[in-house]
């Protein structure tokens, strides 16, 4: 009887990905696939197989030069629009008064609303996740030259699971570069294959953690030991390439970026697609969910 009860209880609210615990837990293998299959799309079989094994795939020239120019103009327009700057979804650096990120931008910009439904973008996400998808998060990022801060190693899924209540790693992010990514101006580093390992993190999530974590992460950080082991096993790749290139990567891929002292700023459009079969529930390791503009709590399947 006791065994049955426990089992039932586990089924009703199973947490296959415990994290933010008081005591360290060892990294363990993920059970869900990276490429879920069942839907066709623009990704060719070899690229899809590589995505499945490495957890990411690159698409040079996803946007044309003209489109890059149009989106850069759109970003300039947004960053100087007083209403946008005053919006809570816009992250403005206190010191410089410069815009760093604008969240939920697929709702505030028609151009980007179109982009998230563009077959080059949407159909790749559907193909990888094997289902209809919706936008879990969208944002544009402006990273300045000279003093651009990087982001320490992390898995996005760890945060989305703990703080947003995303049940499983069935989400995929597309980062579209609007500026050239050199090896030396703070481009994304990834550990290919690391998406197959979940790394639980130590430490309780503080209230309103997202306000600090959007600029510098302190909770939800893997141990140096876990990072070393993953790097030794998988190595490190860097996302470089001309403006218009895109990186599609798994929600559980270990990634980070260095700082940028070069004069070359970086900006990109970042869209997270979640499977409609992976709708958010209550956060697994936070008192309250983050705001909807950071993690959409309603499933609105994208249609064209």
Residues that bind a second copy (CB under 8 A): 145-146, 150, 152-153, 182-184, 186, 189, 224, 227-228, 231-232, 236, 238, 256-264
47 or 238: CB nearest a second copy: 238
120 or 149: CB nearest a second copy: 149
How far, rounded to the nearest angstrom, does the alpha carbon of residue 226 sit from its chain's CA centroid?
20
Hey, how many other C-beta atoms are within 10 angstroms of the C-beta on 202? 16
- Work out how close the CB of 219 gets to a second copy at its nearest, in angstroms, rounded to a whole number: 17
What are 49's strand-pairing partners? none
Query: What distances in angstroms separate CA 230 from CA 1, 33, 55, 195, one per listed residue?
Result: 41, 19, 14, 10
- Work out how close the CB of 87 gets to a second copy at its nearest, in angstroms, rounded to a whole number: 29
In the DSSP assignment, the letter for residue 289 is: P
- Work out how close the CB of 269 gets to a second copy at its nearest, in angstroms, rounded to a whole number: 23
Give dist(CA 222, CA 238) in Å, integer: 19
- Work out how close the CB of 188 gets to a second copy at its nearest, in angstroms, rounded to a whole number: 10
Residue 65: burial class (beta carbons within 10 Å; 0-12, 13-18, 19+): exposed
58 or 120: CB nearest a second copy: 58
45 or 263: CB nearest a second copy: 263
- Work out how close the CB of 209 gets to a second copy at its nearest, in angstroms, rounded to a whole number: 21
Q: 112 and 105 in contact (C-beta within 8 Å)?
A: yes
126 or 154: CB nearest a second copy: 154
Give dist(CA 98, CA 215) in Å, integer: 13
């Amino acid at each position: 009887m006791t065994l049955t009860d426990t089992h039932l209880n586990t089924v009703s609210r199973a947490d296959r990905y415990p994290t933010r615990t008081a005591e360290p837990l060892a990294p363990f293998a993920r059970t869900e696939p990276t490429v879920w299959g069942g839907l066709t799309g623009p990704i060719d079989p070899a690229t899809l197989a590589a995505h499945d094994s490495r957890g990411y795939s690159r698409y040079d020239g996803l946007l044309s030069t003209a489109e890059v120019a149009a989106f850069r103009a759109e970003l300039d327009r947004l960053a100087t629009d007083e209403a946008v700057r005053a919006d809570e979804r816009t992250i403005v650096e206190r010191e410089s008064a410069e815009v760093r990120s604008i969240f939920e931008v697929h709702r505030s910009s028609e151009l980007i609303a179109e982009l998230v439904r563009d077959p080059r973008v949407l159909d790749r996400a559907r193909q990888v996740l094997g289902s209809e998808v919706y936008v879990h998060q969208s944002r544009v990022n402006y990273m300045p030259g000279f003093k651009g801060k990087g982001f320490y190693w992390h898995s996005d899924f760890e945060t989305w699971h703990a703080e947003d209540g995303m049940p499983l790693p069935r989400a995929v992010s597309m980062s579209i570069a609007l500026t050239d990514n050199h090896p030396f101006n703070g481009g994304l580093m990834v550990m290919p294959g690391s998406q197959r390992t979940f790394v639980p993190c130590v430490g309780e999530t503080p209230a309103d953690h997202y306000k600090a974590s959007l600029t510098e992460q302190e909770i939800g950080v893997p141990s140096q030991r876990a990072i070393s082991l993953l790097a030794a096993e998988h190595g490190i790749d860097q996302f470089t390439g001309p403006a218009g290139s895109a990186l599609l990567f798994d929600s559980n891929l270990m990634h980070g970026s260095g700082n940028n002292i070069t004069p070359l700023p970086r900006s990109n459009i970042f869209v997270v697609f979640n499977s409609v079969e992976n709708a958010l529930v209550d956060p697994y390791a936070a008192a309250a969910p983050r705001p909807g503009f950071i993690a959409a709590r309603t499933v609105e399947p994208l249609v064209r």
